[in-house]
Amino acid sequence: MYTLVFAKVDLFVIDPDCCHLHFEAGPDGSSGQPRFWARFPLLWSGCRLTHGVQQGRASFEVRLERKLLFLFKYTNRYVSISITGKDELSFSYDGCGQKVSAGRGEQFGESFSEGDIIGCFASFSIDGAVELSFHKNGSSMGVAFSLAPSVLQGRPLFPHVLCKSCSVRFHLDPSASPWYPGPPGFTPLVALPAGQRVRSRPCKSPADPSLACQVVLMVGLPGSGKSFWAKTHMKQHPEKQFRLLGTEELLACMIVSQSTGLPLSMLQQASQCLTALIKVAAETPGNYILDQCNVHFSARHHKLQLFAGFRRVVVVVFPSAPEWRRRLSQRQLSDGEAIPATSLLKLQGLTQTFYLHFQRTLKFSSLIMQSDYAFLRLVLCLLLQPPDEKILICQRNHNCNQPEHSSRGFSSLLM
């Protein structure tokens, strides 16, 4: 069985737990590139360093080592590794010569490309205000962001790079001189004493029994609530550091202009990329949630076989028919696309067959009736062969759309 292995607390490198799975870090921990840059050129891949800063004046440098599109930014530790600048606590400078934060971009500095070195500088005032500035090949591009104390509220910032079709390298050698000298008074983040740096995530002891790697396989119809349950479960168990693998997450990492790329081609790329990514996940220790329909037996069997060394859990989300139709209509209105009725009927039949099969033919190790009928009608916990594999089947009623109830009553069974 796979178990998680944690690096030393004071090791300052690219954080493997704060990278896209489709970002491939180099063996030295200071370089990397998108894993699928040749096959899926639309996909942006990002990484974050293990340590950040919340006081004084600190900097970091990144070199662009291959033709690409890039973005460099500081982010708060609670910001996801997502498309840069979408989050309110994400402050970026991109290769097109823009500064971006909270989804808003403005012209800033100069564009940059292969061979350029970008310096990123953070200056914290005593009162908590912060100035973020950038350099290109030693030349100042000016102050990009001036943050009031109320913006960060004492929270640290972490170096973060997002790129596509490229490779990048951080300057992480504390004994080497900077590639370009920074402004007076700034210290490279890697050269700061350990006590002045902030670790992105706390490290667990390797003896912790919860470090056994786990994969959660979602099963359910489109619009049944799989993604909602998965995301809420991740929020309720941040210590597990789950990675959510689904087409929606990959589509969010693809940015094209309105005049380029067809939605269908993007969806096909995302689907193909997800298939490749699941194979990578099966060989990479960690905790994963596979967010797809998975109503076909062959799909479930194949994916669970890939994760043979993991603790495997299957969560089946089976809403009532009226609630499913309501949620499906809501999803179609927001996405602007309707799933063909014949496809829906086929998927519904497969899911019902799957549900009834386990009810009729398997002996349940335990039957847990929930008192919270506003969310769950019942939870059936099955122990299958091999012994480390569990199946959770949950039937939800029309009142299951409240966030605070999204995984109450059965999420603890996954621990």
Task: Band the pLDDT of 1: cuts 50, 70, 90.
Answer: low
Query: Mean of the per-residue pLDDT values for the chain?
Result: 75
**Residue 263: is its pLDDT beyond 80?**
no
Q: What is the pLDDT of residue 238?
A: 87
Query: How many domains are there within the chain?
Result: 2
pLDDT score at 252: 84
pLDDT of residue 389: 39
Q: What is the CATH classification number for the domain harbouring 387?
A: 3.40.50.300
CA atoms within 13 A on the CB side of 347: 19
pLDDT for 376 equals 29
Confidence label for 335 from pLDDT (cuts 50, 70 and 90): low
Q: What token pair was written down for 4?
A: 């998680």
> CB–CB of 178/63 below 8 Å?
no
Give residue 390's pLDDT: 45
Contacts of residue 306, Cβ cutoff 8 Å, sequence gap at least 6: 278, 279, 282
In degrees, rounded to 5, the angle at the alpha carbon of residue 64 between the alpha carbons of residues 33 and 269 is 35
Residues 237, 195, single domain; the answer is: no
pLDDT given at position 269? 85
At which of 199, 233, 251 does a domain end?
Answer: 199
Task: Report the CATH number that the domain containing residue 139 is assigned in CATH.
Answer: 2.60.120.920
- Compare 233 and 315 and report the one with higher pLDDT: 233
Q: Is residue 4 part of a domain?
A: no
Peptide bond before residue 387 is cis, with ω within 30 degrees of 0: no
**pLDDT confidence band for 73 (50 / 70 / 90):** low
Indicate the pLDDT class of residue 401, thresholds 50, 70 and 90: very low
pLDDT of residue 345: 54
Kindly report the number of other CB atoms within 10 A of residue 154's CB atom.
9
* pTM summary value: 0.76
Same-domain pairing of 247 and 277:
yes
Q: Is residue 1 part of a domain?
A: no
pLDDT digit string, tens, across residues 270-285:
889 999 999 999 999 9
Is 218 found in the same domain as 194?
no
235-256 average pLDDT score: 86
**Which structural domain range is residue 388 located in?**
212-414
Q: Is the pLDDT of residue 394 over 70?
A: no
Q: Averaging pLDDT over each range in 20-29, 32-41, 395-404, which range is the top one?
A: 20-29
For tokens 């970026």, the residue is 92
Residues 236 and 100 in one domain: no
| Interatomic CA distance for residues 385 and 250, integer angstroms | 32
Which range among 170-179, 309-318, 378-387 shows the weakest confidence by mean pLDDT? 378-387
Looking at the domain assignment, is residue 7 inside a domain? no
**240 and 163 share one domain:** no
